[in-house]
Amino acid sequence: MTVLHIDNVSRWFGNVVAVNDVSMTVGPGVTGLLGPNGAGKSTLINMMGGFLAPSTGTVTLDGATIWRNEQVYRHIGIVPEREAMYDFLTGLEFVRANAELHGLGAKEAQRALATVEMEYAQDRRIDTYSKGMRQRVKMASALVHEPAVLLLDEPFNGMDPRQRMQLMELLRQMGAQGRTVLFSSHILEEVEQLAAHIEVVVAGRHAASGDFRKIRRLMTDRPHRYLVRSSDDRALAAALIADPSTSGIEVDVHEGALRVQAVDFDRFTTLLPRLARAHGIRLLTVSPSDESLESVFSYLVAA
C-alpha cells in the first residue's frame, strides 16, 4: 500500500498563490488531477515529485517527507511534461542510463522498453522521435525500477488518438497492478475515460474529490445557459417557463434572442424541440453560452 498525503499545503510564488490550502490523499489505482490551465496542477505534481517545496503544509509518501529526500525516488517514477530528455542519446541509451542511476542494468531497461512497445525504435536517436514516441520513452524511463507511485504531468498533451489509447491502456494496467498512478489533465474526457477517482483543482483550491460519476453529475446538473433564437421568441418563452426544467428567461431585445437558464439538463434538451414543434415555432439558434471548462469548474467550486 503506497499512499501520497498532501496535508494543508499551500505554495506561493512571490505574491501569487499557486496552491491554496490543499489536502488530499492519493492511493493505489488511477487518479486524475483535473483542472483548467493555471489551476496549480503542475505545482502540486512538482511538490509530490520533490521538485518544489511547499510554502506551508507537508507532502509525504507513506509518512516520509518527499522534499530533499533522494531515497524516496526508489518508489516514485516521474513523467515530466517538458520535452527535453538528452536528445543526443538513443532511446535505449536513455532508458539504460535511467536504469543505471537506480542501480539497475540492461535487463530492466529492456523490459521497460518492451512494456511501452518501443523496442522497434530503441536504437534511434531521441531527437528523431515523434511526440508520442518521446512520451513512451519517458514512460519507460519512469518504469525501469517498477515504482509503486507514478506521477505524470499532462501525459496526453500533443498525442494523437491512437497513442492516447495506448497510453491509457498502459496506465490502466499500472493501476490494476496496485500502483498509485496520478496524472494531470485539463481535458474532462481524458480523465473520464481513465480515472475512476478524480481530484479537481481550480484556481489553486481543491474544488472536488471523489468518484468521477458523482462529479460529472454535479457538472451536468449545474444551471445551463442557452442563447435561443426562434420565429416567435415570446411564445417560446412562455411555453418554456411553464416547465420546471427552466428556471429563468430573459428576452434580450438587442440580440433579438432569448437567454434561457435551465436547471434540468436532460429534460430541457428534450423539451425544447418538442415544445417548439407543438407551438409551431421554428428554432433558428440554440447555443450553450457558458460551456467553457472554466465555467464548469467554477460551478464546482461553488457547489
Partner 1 sequence: MYHPTVARLTYRGLLGRRRAFILFALPALLIVISVVIRVLTGADDGTAANVLGGFALATMVPLIGVIAGTGAIGPEIDDGSVIYLLSKPVKRHTVILTKLIVAIGVTVVFSAVPTLIAGFVLNGNSQQIAVAYAAAAAVASVAYSAIFLLLGTVTRHAVVAGLVYALVWESLFGSLIPGARTLSVQQWSLALAQKIGAEGAITSDVGLPLALTLLIGVTTAATWYASRKLRTLTLAGEE
175 HSE (CA, 13 A, CB side): 21
**Using rule CB under 8 A, residue 21 touches partner 1:** no
**Using rule CB under 8 A, residue 122 touches partner 1:** no
Q: Could you tell me which stretch among 82-90, 209-217, 220-228, 265-273 binds partner 1 (CB under 8 A)? A: 82-90
Binds partner 1 by CB under 8 A, chosen from 89, 196, 271, 286: 89
Q: Are 55 and 206 in contact (CB under 8 A)?
A: no
Q: In 3-state terms, what secondary structure has residue 212?
A: helix
Q: Which residue has the cell 467554477?
A: 298
Sheet containing strand 246-252, edge to edge, reads 246-252, 257-262, 224-230, 283-288
Binds partner 1 by CB under 8 A, chosen from 28, 29, 36, 49: 49
**Using rule CB under 8 A, residue 12 touches partner 1:** no
Binds partner 1 by CB under 8 A, chosen from 4, 9, 45, 59: 45
CA distance 23 to 62: 15
Q: In 3-state terms, what secondary structure has residue 16?
A: strand
**Using rule CB under 8 A, residue 106 touches partner 1:** no
Q: How far is CA 69 from CA 7, 51, 65, 153, 170, in A?
A: 18, 10, 7, 21, 28
Residues with Cβ within 8 Å of residue 185, at least 6 apart in sequence: 32, 33, 34, 154, 155, 156, 191
Q: How far is the CB of 168 from partner 1 (least distance, A)?
A: 22
Binds partner 1 by CB under 8 A, chosen from 6, 9, 24, 52: 52
Q: Which residue has the cell 467553457?
A: 292
Give CA angle at 182 (168, 297), nearest 5°: 95
**Using rule CB under 8 A, residue 81 touches partner 1:** yes
Binds partner 1 by CB under 8 A, chosen from 63, 70, 253, 280: 70
Binds partner 1 by CB under 8 A, chosen from 8, 23, 25, 51: 51
Q: Are 44 and 51 in contact (CB under 8 A)?
A: no
Q: Are 224 and 261 in contact (CB under 8 A)?
A: yes
**Using rule CB under 8 A, residue 85 touches partner 1:** yes
Q: How far is the CB of 299 from partner 1 (least distance, A)?
A: 22
CA distance 121 to 90: 9
Binds partner 1 by CB under 8 A, chosen from 76, 202, 228, 272: 76
What type of residue sits at position 206? H
Which lies closer to partner 1 via its Cβ, residue 100 or residue 221?
Answer: 100
**Using rule CB under 8 A, residue 50 touches partner 1:** yes
**Using rule CB under 8 A, residue 86 touches partner 1:** yes
Q: How far is the CB of 118 from partner 1 (least distance, A)?
A: 16
Residues 205 to 224 in contact with partner 1, rule: CB under 8 A: none
Q: Could you tell me which stretch among 80-88, 174-182, 238-246, 289-297 binds partner 1 (CB under 8 A)? A: 80-88
Which lies closer to partner 1 via its Cβ, residue 51 or residue 120?
Answer: 51
Q: In 3-state terms, what secondary structure has residue 50?
A: coil
Q: Which residue has the cell 533522494?
A: 70
Q: How far is the CB of 6 from partner 1 (least distance, A)?
A: 16
Binding residues (CB under 8 A) for partner 1: these are 18, 37-38, 40, 42-43, 45-46, 49-53, 68, 70-71, 73-74, 76-78, 80-82, 84-86, 88-89, 94, 97-98, 100-103, 141, 153-154
